[in-house]
Amino acid sequence: MFKESPIIRRVSRQIMVGNVPVGGDAPITVQSMTNTLTTDVAATVAQIKALEAVGADIVRVSVPTMDAAEAFREIKQQVDVPLVTDIHFDYRIALKVAEYGADCLRINPGNIGNENRIRSVVECARDNNIPIRIGVNGGSLEKDIQEKYTEPTPEALLESAMRHVDILDRLNFNEFKVSVKASDVFLAVESYKLLAKQIDNPLHLGITEAGGLRSGSVKSSVGLGLLLAQGIGDTLRISLAADPVEEIKVGFDILKSLKLRSRGINLIACPSCSRQEFDVVSTVNALEQRIEDIMTPMDVSIIGCIVNGPGEAMVSDLGLTGSSKKSGYYLDGIRQKERFDNTDLVDQLEQRIRAKARSMSERLDEKNRIDIKTKD
């Protein structure tokens, strides 16, 4: 089995979003976006903290009005995670949130206004050491590009992106990342592949408007998986019509499956069949909910019978292999004398997983140490 990812990442320059590096040799970051009214400061802060609690590296906040910009000022003072402000059309909003501590400006320079207004925003970003994200979307291409191509195509998205890139290049500003999102998987993938050949700036990945929790997760996994497997992508957002917390979970699951990030428990579980000696499905579902707060990287295998169980357990940090009445327990690939009663597996597994996570976290350096909650 692969212990490390065989993926060779595209070489990109690095920018800083607050204290989080994006691009270069930095880990691929996972972000989400609040869906509360930004003017509702309490609700927005609560959602940002919920996202941070499940591992969000970066959070984006829409700032459509000056009232929202004033609210952002309060929000920024109450959270720790870097915040990207999403701004369209009104350049004055960009200037205001930069003053209030935005960690990144998500704009399209071409829709901010005339050259003087664009220059004002770029100079403000430069003066405050704030990067910019150019965000191209297949559903909102410029009118002349729509007329030229008649429909969204990879070449159309690339032309739109490079139009905005050229503006920043003329202003000698290179602290930016770019996205070329589309709701169609093939359109998004081909657009990113074209863009990756044109610039060395970090790329922000996403399948926009992907759908609900299940369908959107599948579509995003396929599209982003195709790109990430080719080494393309420095930060990502899973766009779901669901609780934004789920976007972070799915994002990390995608990266874990490709061995590009290791954060939290990687559960290896069989789909179950008539050979199972305990109810695998209910055990895994209950356990997954209980241990989602653990961020220590760990492989845990839960297999219902002895056919594949021992093999998986021997390459896991902690493993369970189903057997009659009592199941076998493996730690660091070694079978233990201790056996688990099949009638009380969830409690026993959670206890051992938390103990193992504590011991593993003690070996991490202070910068990466993770506190593990202890159940009463």
Residues within the annotated binding site?
270, 273, 305, 312
**Separation of CA 102 from chain center:** 20
Neighbours of 70 (CB within 10 A): 16
Please give the DSSP secondary-structure letter assigned to residue 263. -
CA dihedral 135, 136, 141, 146 (to 10 degrees): 160
Q: How far is CA 289 from CA 293, 364, 372, in A?
A: 9, 25, 15
Cβ atoms of 84 and 133 within 8 Å: the answer is: yes
Neighbours of 93 (CB within 10 A): 24
Q: Which residues contact 365 (CB under 8 A, 6 or more apart)?
A: none
What Rg do the C-alpha atoms of the chain give, in angstroms?
A: 23
Strand 83-86 relative to strand 58-62, pairing: parallel
Q: Facing residues of 182 across strands?
A: 207
- Residues annotated in a binding site for [4Fe-4S] cluster: 270, 273, 305, 312
**Separation of CA 299 from chain center:** 20
Look-up of token digits 């800083």: 16
Phi and psi, residue 11, nearest 5°: -75, 125
